[in-house]
Amino acid sequence: MSEASGDGFVVFDKVQKSYDGETLVVKDLNLNIGRGEFLTMLGPSGSGKTTCLMMLAGFETATHGDILLGGKPINNIPPHKRGIGMVFQNYALFPHMTVAENLSFPLEVRNMDKSEREAKIKRALDMVQMGAFGGRRPAQLSGGQMQRVALARALVFEPELVLMDEPLGALDKQLREHMQFEITNLAHQLGITTVYVTHDQTEALTMSDRVAVFDDGRIQQLAPPDQLYEEPENSFVAQFIGENNTMEGTVQEINGDVALIKLDDGELIDAKPVNVSKPGERTQVSIRPERVEYNKERLSPDAHTLKAEVLEFIYMGDIFRTRLKVAGKEDFVIKTRNAPDQRRLKPGEQIEIGWLPQDCRALDA
C-alpha cells in the first residue's frame, strides 16, 4: 500500500496494535515517510491514525512489528529520548510558567547552558512571530498565540521530526487557515519531517506532500493530495475526500480501460474500471460534481450524457451548486463556475448532463 519516499526516515514495518489482545486497532501497517516530508494521517474517529502517532511518539507500544527512525528501531526507547517535537490540540503548556520558561523546559532537560538556551528561545519565538511575548503566561494569550507557543516549543530544540495531533482543532476558521499556511511553510523552510493527524480533509489536502487515508486500522490509500482527490482507489476514499456523486450498478462488460455499467434504474454508462474486473460484479460508480457539465457548448463530443431534472439551484458567488434527479436518485450534485455564458437553471427544468468516461470511476460496491 505504501511506497518508500526518499530514504524512509520514519518506517512502520508490519506494525499492529491491540489494546485488549483481540481487536486490532492498527492492522499490519507498512509506511515509509521520507526525510523532510509533510505526511498527514487522515481518517474518521477510531480509524487508527492517532494510535499510529502515539506509537511513533512512544506513548503507546506496538503489539507487533517495528518502528524505525533514521534506520534505528525505537520501540524500546522512551518518549523523552526519541528527540521528537510534539504539538497537541490542547497546547499542553505549563500554566505557571512564562512563555520563555515553557520553551526553556525541553532545553533544560537536554542540559543546555543558559546562553545557548536564550539564543534558541529567541530564535524559536521569532520564527512564530511571538518574540515580544516571552514574559507572558499562557492565561494572558489568545488561542492562536498559545498554538504558536506550542509550535515554538516543539521546534526549539531543533528536532528532525515533529508530530502534530489535531493542532488547529480549537481555532476559528480564519485563524486555522492562516496557521495551516504558516505551519506548512515553516516545516518546509526548516526541512523538518512532519507527521500530522487530522480528520479535516481540507486541512490534509492543503498542507501535505502526501496523505495516508485511514479506515478500520488500515491505510486505504496513500498518495499526493491531487491524486487522492482525482483518482480515489476505493469507494471509502471517494466518499471521504471531497464531495462525490455515487450510483449503484452492475458491470456488463470491460474493454481495456472502459467498463460498461448498467445502473440500477436500467441506464447504461461508461466508466473507468478501478476495482472491478469482470461482468456481473456489483459496483459503485463515482463522479466528482465539478466534472459534470450541463452547458451543451462546453460538452465534449466524447462526453457521456444522461437526462436529469433540476431540483435545486443555489447561487454561491463563485460557483453554482445544482441538485438534480439523475437515474432515479435525488442527491446528484453538480458544481459549475459562475461565468457569463453559464446558464442559471430553474427547479423543474429537464436538462441533459454529461461527463467524460475517464472522470467516472467504477469502484467497489
| DSSP for 147-186, written as a single string | HHHHHHHHHTT--SEEEEESTTTTS-HHHHHHHHHHHHHH
Task: Provide the residue-wise pLDDT of the chain in tens; the chain has 365 residues.
Answer: 444 334 589 999 999 999 998 899 999 999 999 999 999 999 999 999 999 999 999 999 999 999 999 999 999 999 888 989 988 877 778 889 999 999 998 888 888 889 889 898 988 898 888 888 989 998 898 888 888 898 888 888 888 899 999 888 877 888 888 889 888 988 998 899 999 999 999 999 999 999 999 999 999 999 999 999 999 999 999 999 989 999 999 999 999 889 999 999 998 999 999 989 899 999 999 999 999 998 877 778 888 889 999 999 999 999 999 999 999 889 999 999 998 888 899 999 999 999 988 899 999 98
CATH class of the 243-364 domain in this structure: mainly beta
Residue at grid coordinates 464531495: 243
Element (H, E) at 356: none
Residue 256 neighbours by CB under 8 Å, 6+ apart: none
Give the integer Cα–Cα distance in Å for 304 and 268. Answer: 10
Give the integer Cα–Cα distance in Å for 37 and 7. Answer: 11
The domain limits of the chain are: 10-235, 243-364
- Domain 10-235: CATH superfamily, name plus number: P-loop containing nucleotide triphosphate hydrolases (3.40.50.300)
Alpha helices in the chain (DSSP H): 49-57, 99-109, 114-127, 143-155, 173-190, 201-207, 225-230, 235-240
Give the integer Cα–Cα distance in Å for 163 and 197. Answer: 8
What does pTM read for this prediction? 0.88
Give the integer Cα–Cα distance in Å for 241 and 44. Answer: 11
Question: Measuring CA to CA, which residue among 194, 162, 208, 223 is closest to residue 3?
Answer: 223
